[in-house]
A and B are shown apart, each in its own frame.
Chain A
Amino acid sequence: MSDDDLKKLTEALKATPAPDPARKETTLRMAEENFARLQERDPVMRPSQQPGTRPGFLKGLAMTFLNNLRPALLATSSLVIVGIGVVLVQNSAPTGPVVEPAVVGENLSRVTTEASKAAQAEVAMEVDDVDRREETLSIADAEAPMELSEEAPLRRLEQRSLQATATNRARDLDAVAGAVSNEFAPQALIAPAPVPDPVPGQRIEQRDRFAEADIAAVKITSEEPVSTFSIDVDTASYAWVRRSLESGQLPAPEAVRIEEMVNYFSYDYPAPTGDAPFSTQVRVTETPWNTDTQLVEIGIQGTLPEIADRPPLNLVFLIDTSGSMQSPDKLQLLIQSFRLMLPELRDEDQVAIVTYAGTSGIALRPTPASERAVITAALERLQAGGSTAGAAGLRDAYALAAQMAEDGDVSRVLLATDGDFNVGLSSIDEMTRFIEEKREGGTYLSILGFGRGNLNDALMQTLAQNGNGQAAYIDTLSEARKVLVDQLSGALFPIAQDVKIQMEFNPSVIAEYRLIGYETRALNREDFNNDRVDAGEIGAGHQVTALYEVTPVGSPALLNDPLRYGEPVVANAASDELGFLRLRYKVPGATTSQLIETPIAATETPAAPGFAAAIAGFGQLLQGSDYNGSWSFGDAIALANATRGEDRFGYRNEAISLMRLAESLSK
């Protein structure tokens, strides 16, 4: 049976199409001309060497560390940077000019890819050229993540730029090492530089990548009284942390985004009154992990419009069906999740499905939600296979959404993926620009992450932020229910966009402050009033919580001494205020923002810390933050237990069991 399968596959593989004769001839001529040119500028330097007479030990050594290097490189996949330095002395005279870029490119027949091909071949030639000419060979391998990609190979390669070019991969070093051993007598061999620690984000699992940002530091109020950031309703980080802990691993510190953990939970904030799209509430509490500081807790509650009045909804599911999605916690979970969501849709809503793998395709034309059987059948037909052509899929999805949209409709593309877009198109920039354009046109993008092992959290964040959408990580069916069903209205109906928060602290009351979380959402002070600067979106019923840890003037917890020559802080008229909260938002579709201002009164007796503080502290513990002092997981559990409240859906209980897991894992 299975041998028959192999036979069938063999036969299919043997049915190769014939090469195109014209293309073949062009390629061969180009190769011959390349060969001739190479001889001209760089005649062969090993006239009569016999195999076997070459110094063997260098090759042996080189191969040894190359072989040792390779698993390390593969294991850490794309982010490791490895430097190898080999000092060699040439035994033949350096020769020849550097080849001009035109050499390789001139015979290329395809205009579209000419630039990249020329560069590629050029690099191949130049790398070798440099090997030969230079006394020191130094090759760096940097499989840079997409967002860091360099275009350096397009420039002429000199030896010193070889480091930066990073196009040579470890495997190809076999060939280089071979060439080296042929051409040069060894003089000294410098041991390979120690392999640097994997770049943060690589630690949990080899290919999961996270948005990186340093943890926000303590600011001195008299120097920098204003703190500005964009709100964030994502919860992806919490689900990721949960998944790590439940599989018996502490999450990597950079996978922990405290604001996303805090915002996973709902709090008891008053509902907005009147026409305001949301209410804000500020309270000052004790800091659980530091008796000498206080927490300023800013809570924003989005209004929940009457569900009955909601406009028709156009949903385009953009589903990654690449080979890696073939897993019960990926494609199958995704299909189940979407099925959960279907009953929540109305008859006038429309659904379409676009898949992307090697190529993108439409799995379901726009279909009214009333035809549930048709949609379910299309979902169940989905199969994983092929690589990922995300960019093309994204484009198709937006095209469909545009077709479906009528006046007053809400259109949203829901992208479900386990990783990044790894075929064809697409620098992040290009994709981001495209999504931004579509956002202006009224189609938003939300991203659902699935599975583990390949998740590109940074890309998810970037795309969702630019598409005015939410990024969520779905690890279980109950998480799917929370994200897609319980919050269907919120996730899908924006009530305010470009929501920015600016907090100004009063230096005569607050000496130092620190924003907890929101590192990836920081804005410049001047961005606050600039309506062209994009910021986060709030959906119907969403809540956003932000926490500042503040140190009052004169507190023993101050980290910085006052400046000897600085101006003494003078109490001003409004000195009974701790700070001033400004909040800007736009009504969906509007171009100018509205401003809400709230003064915050200083208080002698702060309230008891709430559940949000317990979660923030928990996040800091997972990040390995210094601010916690001796406050432990045990303290977090106690505080969370004491502030759990009603917990109708059991989310808070779950958080407490995660804290327990973390406590035992960290011992």
Chain B
Amino acid sequence: MRMRTSDEALALAAASGDGEAFGLLIRRHYDLMFRFAWRLTGSRHEAEDLCHDICAALPVKLRSFRGDAKFTTWVYRVMMNANTDRARKAQRRAKARASWGEDFKRREAEAEEAREAQDWLTRAMTTLPEELRDTVALTLGEDLTQAEAAKVLGLSEGTIAWRMSEVKKHLRALAEKEGI
């Protein structure tokens, strides 16, 4: 029954303390979150870590959900900010990490993973600056309209349109470089 309840209603219920609603909500959206995280980071490992962090903080964060935006829009925004945060925090917390050697091993594993990933996608995404990558993940990856993406990013629709034309330029340059 509850499965039919809208995301927004579930989120508001969770925000006012309904544990069942919270459970339903995150179970309903975990896959979406994971996919988006993967599109943001390009790595399964990173995506899983990001989802973990978001889920850990979600009970508290949800209390600021006001129901005036779509829950998914809100989640996308939270995730994008968290992703940016993670990259910066990784630096600051470097001291907490065990040692060089350990990190090196981890990196090797990551490199392996990157090779497994689709090479073209990795190349394409890494030629894009960060803000274009985020925009691409939202529009092409998540099928958001430019208006919806604009809402998530807190930008005007025109900016998104401009960014997408920038993306095209980058892709064209990449295609030319690869001789296609």
Q: Contact residues of A with B, CB < 8 Å?
A: 1-3, 5-6, 8-10, 12-17, 19-20, 23-24, 27-28, 30-32, 34-36, 38-39, 43-44, 46-47, 51, 104, 108, 110, 112-113, 115-117, 119-121, 124-125, 128-129, 143-144, 146, 149-151, 154, 167, 169, 171-172, 174-176, 178-179, 182, 323, 326, 357-361, 383-387, 389, 391-392, 395, 422-427, 429-430, 434
Contact = CB atoms under 8 A, between A and B. Distances in A.
A336 B169 CA distance: 26
Interface in B88-129: 88-98, 100, 102-104, 106-107, 110-111, 114, 118, 120-124, 126-129
Given A104-B56, A112-B97, A430-B95, A392 B107 contact: yes
A6 B167 contact: yes
A534 B34 CA distance: 49
B102 A112 contact: yes
B127 A359 contact: no
Given A30-B52, A323-B129, A116 B89 contact: yes
A150 B171 CA distance: 40
Interface residues of B, number: 84
Contacts of B14: 35
A434 B100 contact: yes
A30 B55 contact: yes
Contacts of B86: 120
A151 B95 contact: yes
Given A24-B34, A359-B107, A116 B93 contact: yes
A31 B55 contact: yes
Given A9-B140, A47-B16, A115-B96, A35 B121 contact: no
A638 B78 CA distance: 60
A49 to B, nearest CB: 9
A385 B123 contact: yes
Interface in B21-52: 22-23, 26-27, 30-31, 34-35, 38-39, 44, 47-49, 51-52
A425 B89 contact: no
Contacts of A143: 88
Given A5-B171, A44-B63, A115-B96, 18 more contacts: A13-B137, A16-B35, A23-B48, A27-B55, A28-B26, A30-B52, A30-B56, A31-B55, A51-B67, A115-B97, A120-B57, A120-B89, A121-B56, A175-B61, A360-B111, A361-B111, A391-B100, A423-B87
A22 to B, nearest CB: 10
For B56, B81, B98, B104, the residue with the greatest tally of chain A CB atoms inside 10 Å of its CB is B56
B61 A12 contact: no
A476 B139 CA distance: 40
A391 B75 CA distance: 33
Contact of B141 (A3, A13, A117): A13
Contacts of A179: 63-64
29 contacts: A3-B168, A6-B168, A12-B121, A13-B39, A13-B121, A13-B140, A23-B48, A31-B55, A32-B19, A35-B19, A47-B16, A125-B57, A128-B63, A150-B92, A169-B85, A175-B78, A182-B66, A323-B128, A323-B129, A357-B126, A358-B122, A359-B107, A384-B127, A385-B126, A387-B126, A425-B100, A426-B94, A430-B94, A430-B95
Interface of B: 14-17, 19, 22-23, 26-27, 30-31, 34-35, 38-39, 44, 47-49, 51-53, 55-61, 63-68, 78, 81, 84-98, 100, 102-104, 106-107, 110-111, 114, 118, 120-124, 126-129, 136-137, 140-141, 164, 167-169, 171-172, 174-175, 177
A653 to B, nearest CB: 39
A172 B49 CA distance: 19
B66 A51 contact: yes
A9 B53 contact: no
B126 A386 contact: yes
A10 B135 CA distance: 12
A422 B88 CA distance: 8
Contact of B49 (A36, A113, A128, A391): A113
Nearest to B21: A35
B48 A17 contact: no
B52 A17 contact: no
A28 to B, nearest CB: 6
A423 B90 contact: yes
B127 A167 contact: no
A38 B136 contact: no
4 smallest CB-CB distances across A and B, nearest first, come from A121-B56, A124-B57, A5-B171, A31-B55
Nearest to B23: A32
A172 B79 CA distance: 11
A182 B174 CA distance: 48
Contacts of A104: 56
A31 B95 contact: no
B168 A392 contact: no
A44 B106 CA distance: 40
B126 A12 contact: no
Contact of B107 (A6, A35, A167, A424): A424
Nearest to A44: B17
B2 to A, nearest CB: 15
Nearest to B142: A13
A16 B39 contact: yes
Contacts of A28: 23, 26-27, 30, 55
B41 to A, nearest CB: 10
A30 B57 CA distance: 10
